Amino acid sequence: MDVISHFRQESRTYAALGFVAICVIVLPVVIDSIWVKVLTSAVIFTLAAYGISLLYSQLGLVNLSQVALIGVGGWIMLRLNYAVQLPFELNLLVSAVITAFIGMILALPAMRMKGLYLALITLMVAGGFQIIFSAIQFPNGGAGFLGVALQSPGEMRRPLIAESDTAYLRYSIIVVVLGVMLAAAHNRGRPGRAWAMIRKSEANAMAAGVNVTLYKLWCFTLSGFLAGVSGGLLAGALKILDAKSFPAGESILLFALSIVGGVGHWMGAVIAGFLYRVVPAIFNNIGIDADLSLVIFGAALLHAIMTAPNGIAGQLSSLFQSLGRQNK
């Protein structure tokens, strides 16, 4: 049985790598320039959705400030871009680390809370950042700490290997895959085992010597890191960010779509990111108000809650397993 399980695990790994390879090589070639930008945005929000799924699936914690942290990562990325002449990758890493630290600080008051109270606190944090972004705006090459210029804004630099939109889509896919692999490594390692014990029973975890506060903060920090990477990539994709792009309500929507996609599987984050960005774009493309996509998302959320607790990814996984058994 161990050999069979190992073979199945390897098969899923190769299938995932094949899926990524197809996305990197084929997708940018067969779609036009507008959809390249839409898919780049969808890929970027996939990583942020994975951060939400990580907290909810591992610890049952609801984080409604993820989009705000994306904005934080984007702000820092833009500021570093204009302030220092460092490589894009280093700026991205610094942005992610600072965002992770901010996420950890914001999580401290919420460590003893869960459920509705934690959701409300993180939503209030998102609302606070929305006000801050509106007040200070995003850096665009101006002088001073805030770096806001009313005229002649600067230029956001992209990596030398990803200056075109097509190349940047491929670059974003690779970075997002690396981010998912980082989180998956945590799940398989000591943090994942500690999170599993905490999820089952905090009291039993503490009795077993698990530092519950530390590992909760660890998970929040990792989720914030993924949001920071997303924000940095988004700044590179759009080259300029706007305060209106990070309202508090978007965090609620992204969390809901993570549930719809399936928080227990990496594919669920992919589905959430694509629902979040691609479906409204399709509606706009065919002349329908994109806000109507919220009706579809609401119906999908009800379906997930009532009949598909593992989301679309869980249903697809069950379908593939059934097909595999039939083919034996």
In 3-state terms, what secondary structure has residue 275?
Answer: helix
CA distance 74 to 242: 10
**Averaged pLDDT, 281-288:** 87
In 3-state terms, what secondary structure has residue 171?
Answer: helix
Burial category of 239 from C-beta neighbours within 10 Å (exposed 0-12, middle 13-18, buried 19 and up)? middle
CA distance 32 to 60: 40
The pairs formed by 111-116 with CB atoms below 8 angstroms and a separation of 24 or more are 111/213, 111/216, 111/217, 114/60, 114/61, 115/62
**Per residue in 59-73, pLDDT tens?**
888 888 899 999 999
Cβ neighbour number for residue 145 with a 10 Å cutoff: 10
Residue 317 has pLDDT above 80, yes or no: no
- Give the pLDDT band of residue 1 (cuts 50, 70, 90): very low
Name which of 239, 214, 219, 257 is nearest 67 in CA terms: 257
Integer angstrom CA distances of residue 295 from 7, 246, 249: 41, 21, 15
Least confident of 104-113, 177-186, 254-263: 104-113
Average per-residue pLDDT in the chain?
84
- Give the pLDDT band of residue 10 (cuts 50, 70, 90): very low
Residue-level pLDDT at 110: 64
Burial category of 264 from C-beta neighbours within 10 Å (exposed 0-12, middle 13-18, buried 19 and up)? middle
Name which of 59, 90, 32, 113 is nearest 223 in CA terms: 59
Please answer whether residues 70 and 241 qualify as being in contact, where contact means their C-beta atoms are separated by less than 8 angstroms: no
Please answer whether residues 232 and 77 qualify as being in contact, where contact means their C-beta atoms are separated by less than 8 angstroms: yes
**Per residue in 179-218, pLDDT tens?**
988 988 888 888 888 888 888 888 888 888 888 888 888 8
Packed helices 33-59 and 266-285: angle between N→C axes, nearest 10 degrees: 140
Share of residues in the chain with pLDDT > 90 (%): 30
CA distance 256 to 66: 12
Share of residues in the chain with pLDDT > 70 (%): 86
- Model pTM? 0.88
Please answer whether residues 93 and 299 qualify as being in contact, where contact means their C-beta atoms are separated by less than 8 angstroms: no
